């Protein structure tokens, strides 16, 4: 397969797609939101327990492509213990990375594997679907958020 | 003439399709380093030089506004525009060119019928019958109408993955007060070919008006509106080798006569006072404003091109490719096919086990193979089938068996890539 493809589907991403982490409904969640990508019909639901300003636990379920599943899996792993302000900052960096390819690895850690997405404009929405849902959950928005 | 030479003395099978493929300059290119294999024809077809040349010639020699001009260029443009109307009538065997309305595409044709004809003739409590396999374009306009006038949408069910209509239910549904039955000729997702002549006959017996969405059929097989017996039929130019932004609405004379004008403006009027306007007769009263003149002329050229090949030959070729693709894909592990086992049109929807359609399409694209992945503007059907999306390969006469082989090869590679090797 070509280099661009391997940039998109890094081994870590393929692994998270096959066995997503935190892939379950979260009992006792006090914030829940759905993300919807009308382009492909993907639905993700993000559950989290917010304790004051800190995310104590976060999970997801639903259906999606390899990129959106892996992104949700790695996002939930990354956000545990983060404050709302930290999540919003991190989202900005992720969004910047998947649209421009500009990687700040020291600041975003493992999530840098999604940098290759910027070469596939049609797939950017897949990579940030879970993030939109997580932000909506933190904001207490009940309506499903759409990538459109 | 090349076309005649390629077809002369040949039955469907012995046509030299390579000669026609060479008419499409776009197909001769590499994508991501691989020869382009274009299998997204149900979304839009490519355009032959014959159509591109006509567009260029029109703009270089004859460009002018139609119907009102007295000068030479306007006369030429008007003659070419109205000749294309005659051409379109022949293309679907309409009784009269006045039964042909030019629209932006199939979608606009359906909206015209829903808003103008439906707005006047569909009443509160009436039923509007659709099938469960309709494209959003033959569903949303009817929902809007139903909401506006208080009518009710009812559906003829689709049976499972095979994607056939449950015809046993039709007559009982039709007796429930159906004012209009709108149906697709060929499903853009399943490849099902619906028996539209039979459906229209049964609808007519029950007193229902009929609309056939021929977007997926008009460029692929011969269409005869009088044999089908429909009241309305729509299709788009861009799926039949013509330009984008142009399409045809056929309306049986009697039905167009009972349809009020839709959009108002120039071209569609006889006389305008400050407080009162009189309108032209159909079809001109449905073509407000300067029309897509080049598009209409290009569409006429596309119809000439297709009929020189013969749509019966194209149909045979497309069906054969789809059958070959199904045969090869059904022998692979982890491939789920959708649509009828026999008699399908030239397209194949499929899913690979544990691999999302968008991942399939992204990897295929990197190998030069253009597929479509998603819900194909068929969200309710997807829900009914219990899936979010499919990948789809759709064929046209310029596609080859070698390209189907390439598709199969790439699918095997995708399965290996995502660790689902068969």
Tokens of B407: 């598709």
pLDDT reported for residue B7: 61
The predicted-structure confidence for B284-338, as pLDDT tens digits, reads as follows 999 999 999 999 999 999 999 999 999 999 999 999 999 999 999 999 999 999 9
User: Could you tell me if A12 lies within 8 Å of chain B, comparing CB atoms?
Assistant: no
Chain B residues within an 8 Å CB radius of A1:
363, 366, 413, 417
φ, ψ at B20 (rounded to 5°): -75, -40
All structural domains of chain A, each given as residue ranges with its CATH number in brackets, are: 3-146 (3.90.1010.10)
- Hey, which bits of B243-368 come out as E strands? 247-251, 269-272, 277-279, 335-338, 347-352
Rounded CA-CA distance B47/B256 in Å is: 31
Rounded CA-CA distance B303/B84 in Å is: 9
Measured torsion, CA atoms of residues B191, B192, B195, B196, in degrees rounded to the nearest 10: -60
Closest residue of chain A to B391, computed from CA coordinates: A40
Burial A59-82 (b: 16+ CB within 10 A, else e): bbbbebbbbbbbbbbbbbebbeeb
Identical fold for domains B52-307 and B310-417, yes or no, is no
CB contact under 8 A, B32 and A4: yes
Q: Answer whether B382's CB lies under 8 Å from B375's CB.
A: yes
What SS3 class is residue B249?
strand
Provide the terminal-to-terminal Cα distance of chain B, rounded to the nearest Å.
Answer: 48
Rounded CA-CA distance B40/B357 in Å is: 14
Chain A residues within an 8 Å CB radius of B382:
41
Which of the four pLDDT bands, split at 50, 70 and 90, describes residue A142? low
Chain B residues within an 8 Å CB radius of A123:
358, 362
Residues of chain B with pLDDT under 50: 1, 8-12, 422
| Min Cα–Cα distance to chain A from B335, Å | 17
Output the average pLDDT for chain B. 94
Mutate which of B366, B368, B391, B417 to disrupt the A interface (most A C-beta within 10 Å)? B366
The predicted-structure confidence for A3-52, as pLDDT tens digits, reads as follows 788 889 999 999 999 999 999 999 999 999 999 887 777 889 999 999 99
pLDDT reported for residue B422: 44
Exposed/middle/buried for residue B31 (C-beta within 10 Å: 0-12, 13-18, 19+): middle
φ, ψ at B278 (rounded to 5°): -110, 145
CB contact under 8 A, B388 and A42: yes
pLDDT reported for residue A140: 83
As a whole-number percent, the residues of chain B with pLDDT over 70 amount to 96
DSSP strand pairing (B232-236 vs B158-159) = unpaired
Name the fold adopted by B52-307.
3.40.640
Q: Answer whether B417's CB lies under 8 Å from B360's CB.
A: no
Chain A residues within an 8 Å CB radius of B373:
40
pLDDT reported for residue B9: 45
SS3 per-residue string spanning chain A: CCHHHHHHCCHHHHHHHHCCCCECCCCCCCEEEEEEECCCCEEEEEEEEEECCEEEEEEEEEECCHHHHHHHHHHHHHHCCCEHHHHHHHHHHHHHHHHHCCCCHHHHHHHHHHHHHHHCHHHHHHHHHHHHHHHHHHHCCCCCEECC
- The domain segmentation of chain B, as residue ranges, is 52-307, 310-417
Q: Average the pLDDT over A56-82 and give the result.
A: 95
Cis peptide preceding B375, ω within 30 of 0: no
DSSP strand pairing (B100-103 vs B37-38) = unpaired
Rounded CA-CA distance B395/B244 in Å is: 19
What SS3 class is residue B362?
helix
> Which of A18, A40, A64 is the closest to B373 by Cβ?
A40
DSSP strand pairing (B247-251 vs B232-236) = antiparallel
Tokens of B20: 């026609």
CB contact under 8 A, A40 and B389: yes
Compute the radius of gyration of chain A from its Cα atoms: 14
φ, ψ at B384 (rounded to 5°): -60, -40
Measured torsion, CA atoms of residues B18, B24, B29, B31, in degrees rounded to the nearest 10: -100
Tokens of B173: 């549904």
Name the fold adopted by B310-417.
3.90.1150
CB contact under 8 A, A8 and B382: no
User: Could you tell me if B373 lies within 8 Å of chain A, comparing CB atoms?
Assistant: yes
A22-31, A83-92, A139-148: the lowest-pLDDT one:
A139-148
Rounded CA-CA distance B223/B94 in Å is: 10
The predicted-structure confidence for A42-67, as pLDDT tens digits, reads as follows 889 999 999 999 999 999 999 999 99
Q: Average the pLDDT over A118-129 and give the result.
A: 92
User: Does the active-site annotation cover B377?
Assistant: yes
């Amino acid at each position: 397969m070509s280099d661009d493809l391997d940039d998109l589907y890094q081994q870590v991403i393929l692994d998270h797609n096959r066995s997503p982490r935190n892939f379950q409904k979260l009992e006792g969640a006090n914030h829940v939101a759905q993300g919807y990508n009308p382009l492909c019909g993907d639905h993700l639901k993000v559950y989290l327990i917010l304790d004051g300003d800190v995310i104590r636990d976060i999970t997801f379920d639903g259906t999606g492509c390899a990129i959106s599943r892996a992104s949700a899996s790695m996002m939930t792993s990354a956000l545990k213990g983060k404050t709302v302000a930290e999540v919003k900052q991190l989202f900005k960096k992720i969004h910047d990375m998947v649209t421009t390819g500009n990687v700040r690895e020291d600041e975003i850690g493992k999530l840098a594997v999604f940098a290759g997405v910027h070469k596939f404009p049609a797939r950017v929405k897949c990579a940030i679907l879970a993030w939109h849902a997580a932000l909506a959950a933190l904001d207490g928005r009940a309506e499903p958020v759409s990538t459109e | 003439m090349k076309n005649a030479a390629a077809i002369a003395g040949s039955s469907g099978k012995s046509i030299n399709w390579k000669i026609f493929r060479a008419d499409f300059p776009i197909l001769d290119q590499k994508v991501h380093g691989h020869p382009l294999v274009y299998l997204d024809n149900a979304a839009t077809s490519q355009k032959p030089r014959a159509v591109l040349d006509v567009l260029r010639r029109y703009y270089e020699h004859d460009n002018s506004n139609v119907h009102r001009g007295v000068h030479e260029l306007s006369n030429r443009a008007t003659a070419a525009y109205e000749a294309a109307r005659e051409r379109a009538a022949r293309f679907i065997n309409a009784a009269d060119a006045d039964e042909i309305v030019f629209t932006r595409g199939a979608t606009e044709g359906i909206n015209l019928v829903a808003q103008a004809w439906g707005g006047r003739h569909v009443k509160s409590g009436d039923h509007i019958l659709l099938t469960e396999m309709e494209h959003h374009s033959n569903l949303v306009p009817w929902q809007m109408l139903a909401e506006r006038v208080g009518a009710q949408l009812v559906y003829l069910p689709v049976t499972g993955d095979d994607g056939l209509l449950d015809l046993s239910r039709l007559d009982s549904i039709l007796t429930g007060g159906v004012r209009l039955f709108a149906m697709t000729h060929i499903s853009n997702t399943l490849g099902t070919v619906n028996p539209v002549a039979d459906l229209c006959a049964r609808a007519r017996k029950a007193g229902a008006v009929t609309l056939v969405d021929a977007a997926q059929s008009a460029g692929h097989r011969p269409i005869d509106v009088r044999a089908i017996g429909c009241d309305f039929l729509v299709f788009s130019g861009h799926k039949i080798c013509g330009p984008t932004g142009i399409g045809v609405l056929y309306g049986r004379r009697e039905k167009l006569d009972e349809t009020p004008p839709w959009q108002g403006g120039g071209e569609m009027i006889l006389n305008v006072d400050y407080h009162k306007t009189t309108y032209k007769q159909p079809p001109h009263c449905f073509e407000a404003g300067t029309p897509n003149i080049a598009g209409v002329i290009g569409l006429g050229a596309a119809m000439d091109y297709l009929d020189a090949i013969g749509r019966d030959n194209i149909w045979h070729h497309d069906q054969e490719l789809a059958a070959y693709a199904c045969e090869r894909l059904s022998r692979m592990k982890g491939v789920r096919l959708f649509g009828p086992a026999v008699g399908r049109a030239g397209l194949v929807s499929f899913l690979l086990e544990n691999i999302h359609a968008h991942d399939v399409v992204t990897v295929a694209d990197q190998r030069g193979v253009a597929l479509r992945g998603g819900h194909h503007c068929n969200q309710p059907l997807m829900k009914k089938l219990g899936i979010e999306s499919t990948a789809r390969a759709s064929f046209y006469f310029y596609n080859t068996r070698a390209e189907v082989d390439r598709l199969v090869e790439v699918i095997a590679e995708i399965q290996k890539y995502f660790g689902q090797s068969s």
